[in-house]
Structure formats: C-alpha cells, structure tokens
Structure 1
Amino acid sequence: MKNIEVLVVDDSAVVRQVLSGLLNAVPGITVAHAVADPLLAMERMRLHWPDVLLLDIEMPRMDGITFLRKIMQERPLPVVICSSMTAGSTQLSVEALSAGAVAVVNRPRVNVRQYMQGHADELIAAVRLAAGANVLPAAPGRRGVATPSPMPPLPVAPAKLTADVILPPGLAAVNVRTGLLVAIGTSTGGTQALEEVLSALPADAPGIVVVQHMPEKFTAAFAARLDAICAITVKEAETNDKVRPGLALIAPGGKHLLVRRIGNQYYVDVIDGPLVNRHRPSVDVLFRSVAKCAGANALGIIMTGMGDDGAAGLLEMRKAGARTVAQDEKSCVVYGMPMEAVKLGAVEKSVPLQALDREILQQPGR
C-alpha cells in the first residue's frame, strides 16, 4: 500500500507538533511538512505535492477556507479540516465541507495534546479516508469546489442491529398514489453532492426526505445553508413535519428519520434509537419506512458514501415497487454505499451526479 504523505497547515506550533507526532507514529502515514500558513504551504506544494492536506481554518495571511477553495479550483486535493471548536465552528465546518473538504475533525483550543491523543483514531481514519477519496474538479459555475464529505466520529459497532428494531409495528405497504415521495441516503462526499442535486430542483419539486451521515449540530447549519441556495425549502426535520412538494427534510444528526402515512399525506418522525449499520441517522431506517408506507409511490436514491448503510433498505423499496437509483462510481467521492446496493440487486439504474435531479423530476410511467 502506498505511503500517505500529509502536509499539515496550522499557525500553532504546538498543534503542528502534536498532529505530526500522532500521524508519523502510524505505519503508512508520513507528515512530509508542517507549516504555519497557506502561503508557506503553497511554497512547499510547488516542490512536492502531498496526498492529503490537514488544514486549520483560522490562520494569518490567508484563512483555511479561502485556501481550500483556491486549491479545489486549481488542482483538487483531498483535504481534512482540523480546527479548534469555537462558537462558530459548526457553521465554518459546514462551509468547509461545502467548499470541498473530505472530512472535518474538531479540536479544542486548550489541552490539544491530551484531546488529540484521545481522538487519534478519528484523525487517522479521516486521513486514510481522504487519501482514498475520489476528489473531483469544481463543477462549472459553482461557488463551492470539489466533492466534500462530513466525517462523523466513528462509533464502536454494537451487537448486530437492523432497521427492524426501529420501525414501529403496524406499518403496511400502500399502493395509493399520493404524489411522489423521494428518499435520499448519502454519507462521505454527500455534503456538496446534495447541494448540487437540491440546488438544481425547481420550487415545485416532489417532497424529499434525506439522511446524510453527519454529527449532531451539523445538520441544522447544513440545512440552513442549502435553504439559502435552493429554490426548494430545506429544513432540519422535526416530528410531524409534513412531506410536501417544494420541501426537503434533513434528518437531524444523532436521530433516526422515519416516514409515516396518514390518509393521503406523508409525515415524518424523528426518534432516538440504537445505531443501525454504525449510524444514527441510518439510511436503512429511512428507506425501510418509505418502502412500507409509500410502496411504488416512491423514488429511492443512494449516493456517495462509505459502508453499506442503505443497501438493504433500498432493496426493500425496489421490492415494494419503487424506482431505485444509485449515483455512479465515476461521480462518487467514495463508491461504497452505491456499490453495496448494486451488488445486492437494489438498484434499478446508476446515473452521474449531474443527472440525479432529472430522475427526481421524471414523470410516473418512466
């Protein structure tokens, strides 16, 4: 396996020392250089291009997000944000993900050494994930840049759990057409991919429910950002929200999202529950609820992401008569979740990221 060379960019000498020490201790990862600001980083990068950039946000001479955008516009590179946790860090982290970062790892302003040593696994996982990501050039005409992804803390897998333990009893599949219900599941690389899809939809697009693997408190800022740039309304989902045309509901971080049907209307429930496929929210939980309450009246879309969450749920949707679509390998940052769904026979067809909005707007009857 190729050695991963990392360039650390942080204005704190202590942070540079801590991050370099942690990463250099890992077989297969080497910190090639550690510099104090983006201008120094550019000098190093002219001589030697790293595999992964580990980047702070708040720095002198040039801030990290400006530097990130510059890189992604000129020569895309896997970037992991490692920045101090402040009052505005959530919003800045979402902005960084939308600008092209593959992952975000938060750190405190004080006791950095002790904290990062306790969270070394998260840092290492983010760097390895970034090194294997398919970072794409900026889409023409977009403010963002390459394909980003939230990197939630990786929880320890509990005993085998499935979406069965989450779904309330008594849900029965229905065949009555009440207006198309679109369910989307995504993870690594999904932040900007969702932005591209949802911002291309008209204000009267079908109602959409979304699970994006994200840490708690990130999803509200993410939904607000999408709402500001989309013709449709985007909000963090709350229990009893009605699924309606022109609205996309984003599952809150740390909660599962389910859809239920009352008469000819769909509503959502936001609930606690165990991790499913190592995640909460879980795509499988959402897709299985949609399969049971919407049947053939739904469209399931599985997008870029690591792991297999959503594959089994998408298969249930297909068996219930729903259309099922996967983002194709070439346009995925990580072709994990779509690949597993394809292998399971859950996917009717795979299409590029740029074609997913057309799938959502496609009329019944295909």
Structure 2
Amino acid sequence: MSIKVLVVDDSSFFRRRVSDIINAAPRLEVIDVAVNGKEAVEKALSLKPDVITMDIEMPVMDGITAVREIMGKRPTPILMFSSLTHEGAKATLDALEAGALDFLPKKFEDIARNKDEAVSLLQQRVQQIASRRAFMRRPLTPPRPVAKVADSSITLGVKPRIATDTPARFRASGKSYQLTAIGTSTGGPVALQQILTKLPANYPHPIVLIQHMPATFTAAFAARLNTLCQIGVKEAADGDVLKPGVAYLAPGGMQMMIEGRPGSAKIRIIDGGERMNYKPCVDVTFGSAAKVYQDKVLSMVLTGMGADGREGARMLKNAGATIWAQDEESCVVYGMPQAVTKAGLSTESLPLDRIAERILVELKRQ
C-alpha cells in the first residue's frame, strides 16, 4: 500500500518539483496539492493523507497556523519546507512547536551534494515520518518565558511528583557527574525543549547539546530555549568556559569539542569537515567529553535518524560514563537511540516525558 502525500505550497513550480520527486519513489504517491494553508486544512480532513509537506509563507492562511489546525483536528505527520534564514529558523521552530515532525530547506542544494542525494533525502524523510502516524501528538503548549533566578523553587532535592498512572519509580545510581551531554536529530528541538524546561536554575554542572541543525538555525533555537528555561542556554562559541547551570548548543555547520580539565574545561569550535556527514556530530562531542570527563558524564541519545552518537557513546562507555537512550515509542525517528541500544551501550531506555524526572532523581544527591 502506497503512502499518500498532500503537497502544500503557493508556488506552482515548487509544488510540481516536490510532487515529481515524491511520485518517483515506489511507495509514495501524491494524492493532491493545496495552494494555501486554508485549503491544506480542508484537504487534510477530506482526503486523510498519510503525510503532508507544508510551506511556511502562504496567502490566506500561513503554514504554521495550518499545522496547528490540522494537529488539532486530525493529527498528521507534517514535513515543513523552510528558508535557511534567521526568520525562517524562527518560523520553522514555531511550526515544530505547533506539531510538525521535521523540516527541510526549500533549496535542496543547501543540504545535498548533488541532485540524486537531494531526491533520496526528501523521499526518505517522507517515508520516515509516515511511519510515525500512531505517534502523532497535539501541539505543544509552550511554557511562558521565565526570568532567570538564582534560587529557583525547583531544586534537585525535591522529589519529582509522579503521575498516579505511572507507578514505576526511579532510583539514583549513586554516581557523581560533572557534565551532561545530549545528542539528537529529527524530533530533537521539541524533545530538548520538553527536557530542558523542566531543569532547575541551580543545575549542578554544564550541559552540552548536539542537535543536527543548519547553521542559521542554532542561534535562534538557543535563544528560544533560553527564554523558556530556568537554566541558561546559548549557542556555543569557541573559548566558552563550561559553567554549571548553562547549556551550550553546538553551532550548525561546525564541530563542538571539549578540552582542558573538569572545572575549567573550554569549548573548541572547529570546521565541520568536508567528509563529515553531520555538522555538528554527536560522536565528535561525546568523544571529546569522554577524554576530559571520563566516567563523570551523564549522556543521552534522543530521537533522530541514522546512528550518530553510537561511537561517541562507545567511547563514553569505555570511560565508565552513563548512557541513556530515548525509547522507541516516544521517538519521532527511532534511529540514533536504537543504534546505541542495539550496541549494548545504554543502561536505560526512557520515555521522553520522564527523562527530566530521571535526570533530577539521578542528580538529587549532588
């Protein structure tokens, strides 16, 4: 059975280009197109597509509003097309918050070395998110921007409240840590927001974040997280000294490494590298963290396509560090966490909505 796709864009040229690429895949079929968000909502309800590709800027109704309406009425996997600009980044993040699962740049050459690679990438993304139909969620209700306070009412000593329908209780391992490291890709922006907004301002050590994301997106994403979180969040810069209670997001298109000693370690930002598939790469940052912090790293691999993070997690594991993976059910794409889990590197497989709780339990004695 083919995967039914609705293509939404106000440009006839782009609609035709996307439709031709999708229809060229054996398992994919474009069942219709829409020229604006209002028409997209109507056709999503009447045609019941398996996947929708959605532009952001359109007349009558924009793509973000359309995503929110579709997710409220008939949740459907949605792939956004975005411009790689600062404004495009903010709009794309709004769309992901509204319920879209993934995004690609409208200029395919920005993410692919040649036409064949671009075609394959789009087809692969559509098929990947189609498999997450049962996963579909309602739009996030984002937390309100917070003022940074030193004496947050949320403290590591407070036992997290556990819902009555989730009887399992976590126990701290008794290990001590000096760094938290999180790697993710597809579905990561929403996952990171859900976790980081639950951490207190007095978080006891630095956090490094590696999210597969274009260069123009990471500054906007870090700024958004910083307004929503009690901890500080910033796009990492070369020479940053790692400080407790601050999360450092690896800049897109580059590689983030850690050097020095615990307590005075610094971030090094280096060229992404022509041969590297991921810029930033989870393996690179995890590997450098293993060298500096040894067994004092609490690391997590979240939702994402591929296997980035597996070899870095292996280095962390060999150093005695702790590795957790997001569970399959809560992932947008169960690729990166699956790779780590199948390799026997993770000690726990956790649902997204309980990862922050698990972190606080693990660190409550520090």
Looking at structure 2, the residues matched to 343 and 143 of structure 1 have their Cα atoms a distance apart, in angstroms, of: 35
Secondary structure in 2 aligned to 1:209? strand
Shift in Å at residue 22 of structure 1? Answer: 3.0
Partner of 2:306: 307
CA contact (8 A) 1:315 1:347 kept: no
1:97 and 2:93 aligned: no
Secondary structure in 2 aligned to 1:50? coil
Structure 2 runs not aligned, ≥5 long: 108-113, 145-174
1:279 and 2:278 aligned: yes
Shift in Å at residue 10 of structure 1? Answer: 1.7
Match for residue 191 of structure 1 among 189, 195, 198: 189
Correspondence list, 1:33-72, <5 A: 33-72=32-71
Shift in Å at residue 263 of structure 1? Answer: 6.0
Measured at CA, do residues 340 and 85 of structure 1 come closer, stay the same or move farther in structure 2, by a change above 3 Å?
Answer: closer
Identity of aligned residues (%): 40
1:181 and 2:158 aligned: no
The one-letter amino acid paired with 2:62 is D
Deviations 1:139-195 (A, max 9, x none): 774479xxxxxxxxxxxxxxxxxxxxxxxxxxxxxxxx9962001011111110001
Secondary structure in 2 aligned to 1:331? coil
CA contact (8 A) 1:75 1:137 kept: no
Greater shift in the superposed pair: 206-215 or 130-139:
130-139
Q: Size of the alignment, in residue pairs?
A: 327
Correspondence list, 1:316-355, <5 A: 316-355=315-354
Measured at CA, do residues 230 and 265 of structure 1 come closer, stay the same or move farther in structure 2, by a change above 3 Å?
Answer: same
Secondary structure in 2 aligned to 1:243? coil
Structure 1 runs not aligned, ≥5 long: 109-114, 145-176
1:28 and 2:27 aligned: yes
Deviations 1:236-284 (A, max 9, x none): 1011212212110000111111112336322211111536762121111
Measured at CA, do residues 263 and 3 of structure 1 come closer, stay the same or move farther in structure 2, by a change above 3 Å?
Answer: closer
1:264 and 2:228 aligned: no
CA contact (8 A) 1:312 1:346 kept: no
The one-letter amino acid paired with 1:329 is E
Secondary structure in 2 aligned to 1:242? coil
Secondary structure in 1 aligned to 2:226? helix
Greater shift in the superposed pair: 26-35 or 133-142:
133-142
Measured at CA, do residues 200 and 81 of structure 1 come closer, stay the same or move farther in structure 2, by a change above 3 Å?
Answer: same
CA contact (8 A) 2:272 2:280 kept: no
Partner of 2:226: 227
Correspondence list, 1:133-172, <5 A: 133=132, 135-138=135-138, 141-142=141-142
Shift in Å at residue 137 of structure 1? Answer: 1.3
Measured at CA, do residues 42 and 141 of structure 1 come closer, stay the same or move farther in structure 2, by a change above 3 Å?
Answer: closer
Shift in Å at residue 85 of structure 1? Answer: 5.7
Deviations 1:76-107 (A, max 9, x none): 21111124566622222232233332222222
Measured at CA, do residues 290 and 125 of structure 1 come closer, stay the same or move farther in structure 2, by a change above 3 Å?
Answer: same
Measured at CA, do residues 244 and 139 of structure 1 come closer, stay the same or move farther in structure 2, by a change above 3 Å?
Answer: farther
Measured at CA, do residues 133 and 277 of structure 1 come closer, stay the same or move farther in structure 2, by a change above 3 Å?
Answer: farther
Deviations 1:327-364 (A, max 9, x none): 11111111111111111111011111122112333227
CA contact (8 A) 2:328 2:334 kept: yes
Looking at structure 2, the residues matched to 198 and 122 of structure 1 have their Cα atoms a distance apart, in angstroms, of: 30
Measured at CA, do residues 44 and 364 of structure 1 come closer, stay the same or move farther in structure 2, by a change above 3 Å?
Answer: closer
The one-letter amino acid paired with 1:138 is R
The one-letter amino acid paired with 2:226 is D
The one-letter amino acid paired with 2:87 is G
Looking at structure 2, the residues matched to 78 and 96 of structure 1 have their Cα atoms a distance apart, in angstroms, of: 12
Measured at CA, do residues 214 and 348 of structure 1 come closer, stay the same or move farther in structure 2, by a change above 3 Å?
Answer: same
Correspondence list, 1:244-259, <5 A: 244-259=243-258
Looking at structure 2, the residues matched to 85 and 116 of structure 1 have their Cα atoms a distance apart, in angstroms, of: 18
CA contact (8 A) 2:5 2:30 kept: yes
Shift in Å at residue 23 of structure 1? Answer: 2.2
The one-letter amino acid paired with 1:363 is L
